[in-house]
Amino acid sequence: MSQSIEIKTELENKFDWLKDQVRITRENRLWLDVPADKFFVIFDYLISLAGFKELCTITGTDEGDNYGLMYHLARTDGKVLNLKTLVPKEGGSMKSIISYFPGGTIYEREINDLLGVKFEGLPPGRRYPLPDNWPEGEHPLRKGWQPDKLSKVEGIKEAGEERLNMPIGIRSEISQPTDFSLIRRRDDVQISIGPQHPALKEPESFNVTLQGEKISGIEIKLGYNHRGIEKACEQRSYIQDVYLVERICGICSHTHSTCFVQAVEEIAGLQLPKRAAYIRTLVGELERVHSHLLWLGVAGHEVGFDTLLMYTWRDREIVMDILAMLTGNRVNYGINQVGGVRRDVTAEQAADILKAVDQLEEQTKYYIEVATEEQTLIQRLSGVGKLSKEDVLKLGTVGPTGRASGVERDVRRTDPYAAYGELDFKVITSDQCDVYGRAVVRLLELMESYSMIRQVLKKLPDGPISVRAPRRIPAGEAISRYEAPRGEDVHYVKSNGTENPERVKVRAPTLANLQSVTKMLEDRYLADLPIVIAAIDPCFSCTDRLIKVEDKGLMTWEEIRQYGIEWYKKQGVDFARMTGKIGRSKE
């Protein structure tokens, strides 16, 4: 804790009014509340002189007459200082921090949307994460806000007239017969990609401005997958929340559940049994293996190398089967609980895992060979999606995307959790700064994961796999970090002594990485867009967490079918005629 104390003393020496204000809850975790007028003095000091150069995220809370804004600042040695200030609800506002962290824009937008805090100096842009036609003045994360209130608000405005919800660039032209002369007269053309697009695996929309074939501007709209998980967490118990946060993402499910339970365990002061820590690490690394293999296939697919997709996904089944055997399911493993893990590893399972790891390692070696020798792949990926080291630091890019630009940033090393402190592994980096570098980093990380899995199984300590956790978690707060396959995942949990948390905040790695996409695509060709986006290994269901459930009533199977047929008929496609023969033979 010595270093944390050093930071504290230095702060106190510099600003004597901070005497006994800094709280240290554990090694690496410092908390400080400052009044709004003195916020920037401290903020500036922490960034420029104390080395807190990373912004994990900003958490907004609703606290009676005020909004709380907590800036989670991190240092490369794993220290996190949570700097909090209060903004009055009545007429209060906060200055934007984008001059310090350009990547902070999206966090401020999120708080602006969900809580309604105003940020001075936040550039105009599309809202995040709520839909563009969301009614003004409805802020779902406010404490009194209830989802059912929305249906009473005069329906959701149709956004047509504002050209908002529709991501298509030249919207007015689209809704009427397209006037091509209008487009041709402009020297730039806008193309909308998404929310549904074959190059994207999840709904998100990119509004790309082109000059010729080159991208001159890009606007990203997210939020199509937002499911209100943060709000829902507040309304459920800690036990239920573990399964809820697990479903933030299907690929990083262990990531989110571990990150969440770590925070809750810290607040409750639970000592995680060693064996549980090792099992969490084991599942975490297996998850990384499956995620990286999945990425490799997708990347291959995006550049037209579908052979790679087929083989990597076939091999990925090996690790999926192992995960299913170990936890009971292929995805959403349900292995975590507050206080430990739910399932133990038997000796036979350990042997099976080792066998599978050998097999995977052999395959991975082959893929590394392919990646370093296959000319088409190298030439297609090199120099594409350049992101300099400086930009990584400025934009807060995390995970393999950042590491491929030579930034050695890995929570497993800097702020170890679970059993990572006791494992021997290398943090893989590359100086390529392009998509090729990102591929190589992920491939080499696979090799590290195999080595870690072997170490975990070798060292697996005996003992219990969980400790009893109370249903009521004492009041407190904690921030937990986890190195997901895509980068750093951050959960902030605040408890109030009841069975339900007061606030759960999730910052998934893709949100941090997505902002670098704009930079990577600057002045590049449109054809590079799919692979550049894919190269950050985006996961938008992690990134988005809220949506309004529209109560249209249930539609029966027959009704949906009928609806589809009618809809197409209106577009001039008559299925009845086209498939008359097939239809008749079926009926």
Partner 1 sequence: MTKKKKSRIRPGKMVEFVLQSLLKKPATVNYPFTKMPMPDKFRGKLRYDAAKCIGCMLCVKDCPSGAIKIKKVGEKRFEADIDLGKCVYCAQCVDSCPKKALMATPEFELAQIDRNKLKVIFDAPPEAPGGTEQKAGGSQ
62 touches 142 (CB < 8 A): yes
Minimal distance in Å, beta carbon 528 to partner 1? Answer: 14
| C-alpha closest to that of 561 among 587, 533, 531, 522 | 587
Cβ proximity to partner 1: between 171 and 342 the closer is: 342
Could you give the string, one character per residue 425-444, with x where binding to partner 1 holds by CB under 8 A and - elsewhere?
A: -----------x--------
In angstroms, rounded to a whole number, what is the distance separating the alpha carbons of residues 312 and 108? 39
List 554, 571, 572, 581, residue binding partner 1 (CB under 8 A): 554
List 163, 214, 274, 343, residue binding partner 1 (CB under 8 A): 343
List 146, 379, 498, 562, residue binding partner 1 (CB under 8 A): 379
Q: Is 383 in the site for partner 1 (CB under 8 A)?
A: yes
List 133, 165, 209, 237, residue binding partner 1 (CB under 8 A): 237
458 touches 447 (CB < 8 A): no
| C-alpha closest to that of 550 among 127, 228, 118, 91 | 228
Q: Is 121 in the site for partner 1 (CB under 8 A)?
A: no
Q: Is 500 in the site for partner 1 (CB under 8 A)?
A: no
Minimal distance in Å, beta carbon 375 to partner 1? Answer: 5
Q: Which structure tokens are listed for 164?
A: 């908002």
| C-alpha closest to that of 402 among 540, 515, 545 | 515
Q: Which stretch binds partner 1 (CB under 8 A): 191-199, 206-214, 239-247, 507-515?
A: 239-247
Minimal distance in Å, beta carbon 70 to partner 1? Answer: 27
Q: Is 388 in the site for partner 1 (CB under 8 A)?
A: no
In angstroms, rounded to a whole number, what is the distance separating the alpha carbons of residues 73 and 412? 17
List 69, 86, 122, 244, residue binding partner 1 (CB under 8 A): 244
Residue 91, CA distances (Å) to 65, 87, 248 in order? 11, 9, 34
Minimal distance in Å, beta carbon 237 to partner 1? Answer: 7
- Count residues near partner 1 (CB under 8 A): 41
List 145, 243, 568, 575, residue binding partner 1 (CB under 8 A): 243
Q: Is 369 in the site for partner 1 (CB under 8 A)?
A: yes
- DSSP readout, 318-349? HHHHHHHHHHS-SSS---EETTEES----HHH
458 touches 263 (CB < 8 A): no
Q: Considering only residues 90-109, where is the footprint of partner 1 by CB under 8 A?
A: none
Could you give the string, one character per residue 300-339, with x where binding to partner 1 holds by CB under 8 A and - elsewhere?
A: -------xx--x--x--x------xxxxxx--x-x--x--
| C-alpha closest to that of 282 among 515, 525, 454, 68 | 454
Cβ proximity to partner 1: between 329 and 388 the closer is: 329
Cβ proximity to partner 1: between 317 and 574 the closer is: 317
- The neighbour count for residue 424, using CB atoms within 10 Å, is 8
Residue 179, CA distances (Å) to 53, 187, 210, 213 in order? 49, 15, 18, 21
Cβ proximity to partner 1: between 19 and 314 the closer is: 314
Minimal distance in Å, beta carbon 326 to partner 1? Answer: 8
Residue 427, CA distances (Å) to 27, 38, 360 in order? 22, 38, 20
The residues of the shown chain that bind partner 1, judged by CB under 8 A, are 236-237, 239-244, 247, 307-308, 311, 314, 317, 324-329, 332, 334, 337, 342-343, 366, 369-370, 372-376, 378-379, 382-383, 436, 554, 556-557
